[in-house]
Chain A
Amino acid sequence: MAAESGEGGIVLDPMHQFQIQRILPLEIGGVDVSFTNASLFMVLAVVFVSLFTMASMGRRALVPGRMQSMAELSYEFVANMVRENAGTEGMKYFPFIFSLFMFILFANMLGMIPYAFTVTSHIIVTFALALAVFIGVTVIGFMKHGLGYFRLIVPHGAPVVLLPLLVVIELISYLTRPISLSVRLFANMLAGHTMLKVFGGFVVMMGVFGGWLPLVAMVAFTGLEFLVAFLQAYVFAILACIYLNDALHLH
């Protein structure tokens, strides 16, 4: 925790939780590829997702137990999301969306455990994910429509005189996708976790007498953060579906 009450007062550093620490220093060809706490929690997220899906589906009972119900629920949740937003054609890419959703969800949820590191509060992580979606969707679009995919950035029904301007605007609008996608997830996680830490600091600072009010707020914020953790994973996945739909069904 960042908030520590020492002898000489309280050291409150809400950003300390986002620091990257090298666990296993490693350098290959002059590039720092150390195994850090961020890497550790990404690996943990993958391990937990794999355990969750494989262990709970290991014993495929007709009447599902608790864990199997949860696994089936998440499967159907994502499957419905893909089908509704990208059509039946989009189901081809269901494995990718499912992995994306589960990874972000587990990374967010692991971050809610005290002392854990929130991987998704780093823009480089979310940007890499968003870039994977963006490049993948663009490649799919070009594979499916060839050069006709450029029709996506040509608004129909626009006067020819304005077309050059509109095409540039649409192109920029298309290029903002990975940025808005990644910034949304990153900013939500960063803001939420910073807020939790700041209010945690208030509880310590105000002590036994005044600390109860921020403590109550903390409890509420923690609940809210769990909601945000889920919601942002959902938003990320659903936007990936919408982009996929744009690439599959050119309007």
Chain B
Amino acid sequence: MSDAPRNGPGSEPTPAEATDLETRRRALGTGLTDAQKRHAPPAASERPNGAFGIAMRLAVELVAGVVVGGAIGWGLDRWIGTEPFLFLLFLGLGMAAGITNVFRSARRMNEGASGKPDSERAASGEPSHDKI
């Protein structure tokens, strides 16, 4: 309101000025809601997960890698008939994949804990990968 153009005390705004005022008001309105959105706490995304949650998540990642690798090797073995070599090979590869996954999720968690706040990222429009 205070930044509206004033011609002097008591003077009525001309129609052109009125539309100008309207556009300004609208711009201010959108600016205000954007600012409010940025300042609102990012709902639940910075929730503490707890040590148990983190441990669980990483353990699951590790085990899933081994399970999938073992399953692929077992299936290939049965298909080609090379028991038990491919199973052993893919079990090892699965462990490697599991450890890769653990590293990745741990890094995401770290970035989530120390990275810039979500609101900034949301404002710049770039997607983030750093949670969970």
Contact = CB atoms under 8 A, between A and B. Distances in A.
Interface of A: 73, 76-77, 80-81, 83-88, 90, 165, 168-170, 172-173, 175-176, 179-180, 183-184, 187-188, 230-231, 234-235, 238-239, 242, 245, 249
A116 B61 CA distance: 30
A72 to B, nearest CB: 12
A222 to B, nearest CB: 16
A80 B68 contact: no
Contact of B42 (A80, A90, A235): A80
Interface of B: 42-45, 47, 49, 53, 56-57, 60-61, 63-65, 67-69, 72, 90, 93-94, 96-98, 100-101, 118, 121-122, 125-129, 131-132
B64 A231 contact: no
Contacts of B127: 84-87, 90, 245, 249
Q: Is the interface of A mostly helix, strand, loop or mixed?
A: helix
Contact of B60 (A73, A86, A184): A184
A231 B121 contact: no
A179 B47 CA distance: 24
Contacts of B47: 231
Given A172-B65, A172-B97, A179-B64, A231 B53 contact: yes
Nearest to B105: A180
B93 A168 contact: yes
Most chain A CB neighbours (cut-off 10 Å) among B64, B67, B94, B96:
B64
B19 to A, nearest CB: 25
A110 to B, nearest CB: 20
A242 B96 contact: no
Q: Is the interface of B mostly helix, strand, loop or mixed?
A: helix
Given A84-B42, A169-B93, 9 more contacts: A169-B100, A173-B97, A173-B98, A176-B61, A176-B67, A176-B101, A180-B61, A180-B64, A245-B127
B57 A173 contact: no
Contacts of A172: 65, 68-69, 72, 90, 93-94, 96-97
A87 B127 CA distance: 5
A92 B43 CA distance: 21
Contact of A85 (B65, B93, B100, B131): B131
Contact of B65 (A86, A173, A238): A173
23 contacts: A73-B43, A76-B43, A80-B42, A80-B122, A84-B42, A85-B127, A85-B131, A169-B97, A170-B97, A170-B100, A172-B65, A172-B93, A172-B96, A173-B101, A176-B67, A176-B101, A179-B68, A183-B64, A187-B60, A230-B44, A231-B47, A242-B129, A249-B127
A183 B60 contact: yes
Given A172-B68, A173-B101, A245-B127, A83 B122 contact: yes
A244 B85 CA distance: 35
Contacts of B42: 80, 84
B21 to A, nearest CB: 23
A176 B129 contact: no
B50 to A, nearest CB: 9
A187 B63 CA distance: 13
Contacts of A90: 127
Given A77-B43, A175-B68, A179-B68, A239 B132 contact: yes
B54 to A, nearest CB: 12
Contacts of A73: 43
